[in-house]
């Protein structure tokens, strides 16, 4: 059979009973339950045929019954999608049938410790059963072991060759360990994949230091940063342009713009704080302090203006106002659900006003930022502007980086 066709068939079988509304955890539980249950069927048929050949028809009928019941239970599950009923049926067969097989063969030794297959019930329950119910399957397995010891002296054993009994010890132990290992290996691999993807999503929302603190259980996360720089960028004439576009086109345009900005922010190892409509906010010096916070964020601003000037977004030529200020800020996480990392303080408010009072296509800065970057960039004094809440402030436009 073609390997690609075999893989597709395997995935189709593993997805029996799946539902588009399933969470990743439930979907994984269903795949594990179906895969493990059906993987045992050919082994059960082989065990049944071998015991039948060894003139032990009662023993042969027990794995044979599993080979019939497991596919039937899976077919019912495919129709009903009732994972609880399916799990209970499969775990019950895992637990009881090996014990019955051991009884029919005369006990622990003569059955080649076939009851080890019953250990799959508590092990599998850990993977695809609700955690609070898994203890019942372990206690059931232990109870069957105790019962087996009590009734062992009263069992009648069929006459099986010593070599056959010995080899079946090897087969039983090897097969159970191999199945358990393969199932757990797949589960751990999938769990690690989901965890890595979740962490990547979290890192796209929060700085690494903040996400680590949240995972450690900290509920209130706030810190004072004495030296930081904040940038606000806003689309010029956005409101009238948006009125001529459908909502979908508008979102696609902003997504294209902000993806371009995100790449530049990552290039300079800065921290994107948030977007508010067409406004884009970035900070340097938080949550990691850096002595060149002002230089880094001003260079970012120049690159943002260059990127906007060199291309179209959604078939539109855009222009941005960019405002920057430097100073102390408070940074932290707010909210219990859908939380976000944000900045507060007068420095943030002034940076926002620098953008609001800026001119199209310019990068406007305050004196606080000017003092930090004046030796590295070409700057043009633009007088003063009356900023609400801050009074008259001197402003400069950044024209470019000094050569040499």
Q: What percent of the chain shows pLDDT beyond 70? A: 85
Tens of pLDDT, residue by residue over 184-199, are 777 777 666 656 665 6
> What confidence category does residue 5 fall into, taking pLDDT thresholds of 50, 70 and 90?
very low
Tokens coding 8: 């597709």
**The pLDDT of residue 178:** 87
Question: Distance of CA 291 to CAs 4, 230, 294, 297, 310, Å?
Answer: 55, 14, 8, 12, 31
Give mean pLDDT, residues 163-178: 88
Say if residues 358 and 267 touch (Cβ distance below 8 Å): no
Residues β-bridged to residue 392: 386
Rounded Cα gap, residues 401 and 334, in angstroms: 37
* Model confidence at 335: pLDDT above 70: no
Alpha helices in 81-207 (DSSP H): 83-105, 120-128, 134-151, 162-205
Tens of pLDDT, residue by residue over 355-393, are 988 888 899 999 999 999 999 999 999 998 888 878 888
Single out the residue of 284, 324, 333 nearest to residue 305, CA to CA: 324
**The pLDDT of residue 13:** 56
Say if residues 361 and 319 touch (Cβ distance below 8 Å): yes
DSSP state of 364: E
Rounded Cα gap, residues 374 and 387, in angstroms: 22
Rounded Cα gap, residues 233 and 282, in angstroms: 9
Single out the residue of 144, 178, 164, 151 nearest to residue 43, CA to CA: 178
3-class secondary-structure state, position 399: strand
* Model confidence at 302: pLDDT above 80: yes
Rounded Cα gap, residues 160 and 167, in angstroms: 12
Rounded Cα gap, residues 138 and 119, in angstroms: 8
Q: Is the peptide bond before 287 cis (omega within 30 degrees of 0)?
A: yes
Terminal-to-terminal C-alpha distance of the chain? 67
In b/e form, how buried is each residue of 39-57, taking b as 16+ CB within 10 angstroms? ebbebbeebbebbeebebe
Rounded Cα gap, residues 3 and 118, in angstroms: 33
**The pLDDT of residue 351:** 92
Rounded Cα gap, residues 309 and 321, in angstroms: 12
DSSP state of 312: -
* Domains, in order of start, for the chain: 3-204 (no CATH), 219-401 (3.30.70.1230)
Higher pLDDT, 243 or 205: 243
Cβ within 8 Å of residue 216, ≥6 positions away: none
**Distance from chain centroid for Cα 73:** 32
Tens of pLDDT, residue by residue over 64-105, are 999 999 999 988 988 888 888 888 999 999 999 999 999 999
Burial class (CB in 10 A: 0-12, 13-18, 19+), 260: middle
Give mean pLDDT, residues 264-284: 89
> What confidence category does residue 36 fall into, taking pLDDT thresholds of 50, 70 and 90?
confident
3-class secondary-structure state, position 379: strand
What sign does the dihedral 170-117-153-144 (CA atoms) show?
A: positive
Tens of pLDDT, residue by residue over 244-273, are 888 888 888 888 988 999 999 989 989 888
Pick from 87-96, 154-163, 310-319 the range whose average pLDDT is largest. Answer: 87-96
DSSP 194-229: HHHHHHHHHHHHS-HHHHHHHHTT-S-EEEEEEEEE
> What confidence category does residue 168 fall into, taking pLDDT thresholds of 50, 70 and 90?
confident
């Amino acid at each position: 059979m073609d390997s690609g066709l075999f893989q597709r068939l395997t995935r189709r079988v593993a997805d029996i009973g799946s539902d588009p509304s399933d969470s990743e955890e439930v979907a994984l539980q269903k795949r594990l339950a179906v895969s493990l249950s059906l993987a045992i069927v050919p082994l059960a048929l082989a065990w049944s045929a071998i015991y039948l050949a060894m003139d032990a028809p009662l023993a042969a009928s027990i794995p044979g019954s599993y080979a019939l019941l497991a596919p039937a239970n899976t077919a019912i599950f495919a129709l009903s999608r009732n994972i609880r009923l399916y799990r209970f049926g499969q775990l019950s067969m895992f637990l009881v049938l090996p014990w019955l097989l051991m009884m029919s063969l005369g006990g622990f030794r003569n059955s080649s410790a076939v009851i080890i297959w019953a250990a799959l019930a508590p092990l599998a329950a850990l993977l695809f059963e609700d955690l609070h119910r898994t203890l019942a399957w372990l206690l059931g397995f232990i109870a069957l072991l105790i019962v087996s010891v009590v009734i062992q002296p009263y069992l009648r054993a069929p006459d099986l060759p010593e070599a056959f009994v010995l080899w079946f010890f090897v087969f039983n132990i090897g097969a159970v360990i191999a199945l358990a290992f393969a199932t757990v290996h797949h589960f751990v691999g999938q769990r690690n994949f989901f965890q890595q993807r979740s962490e990547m999503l979290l890192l796209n929302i929060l700085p690494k230091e903040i996400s680590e603190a949240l995972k450690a259980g900290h509920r209130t996360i706030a810190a004072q940063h004495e030296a930081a720089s904040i940038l606000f960028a806003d689309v010029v004439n956005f409101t009238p342009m948006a009125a001529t576009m459908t909502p979908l086109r508008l979102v696609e345009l902003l997504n294209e713009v902000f993806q371009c900005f995100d790449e530049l922010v990552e290039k300079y190892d800065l921290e994107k704080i948030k977007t508010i409509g067409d406004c884009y906010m970035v900070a340097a010096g938080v949550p990691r302090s850096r002595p060149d916070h002002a230089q880094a964020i001003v260079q970012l601003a120049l690159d943002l203006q260059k990127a906007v000037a060199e291309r179209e977004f959604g078939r539109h030529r855009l222009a941005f106002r960019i405002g920057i200020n430097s100073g102390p800020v408070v940074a932290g996480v707010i909210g219990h659900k859908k939380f976000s990392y944000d900045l507060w303080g007068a420095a943030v408010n002034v940076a926002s006003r620098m953008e609001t009072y800026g001119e199209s296509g310019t990068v406007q800065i305050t004196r606080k930022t000017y003092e930090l970057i004046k030796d590295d960039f070409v700057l043009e004094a633009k007088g003063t502007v009356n900023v609400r809440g801050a009074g008259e402030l001197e402003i400069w436009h950044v024209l470019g980086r000094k050569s040499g």
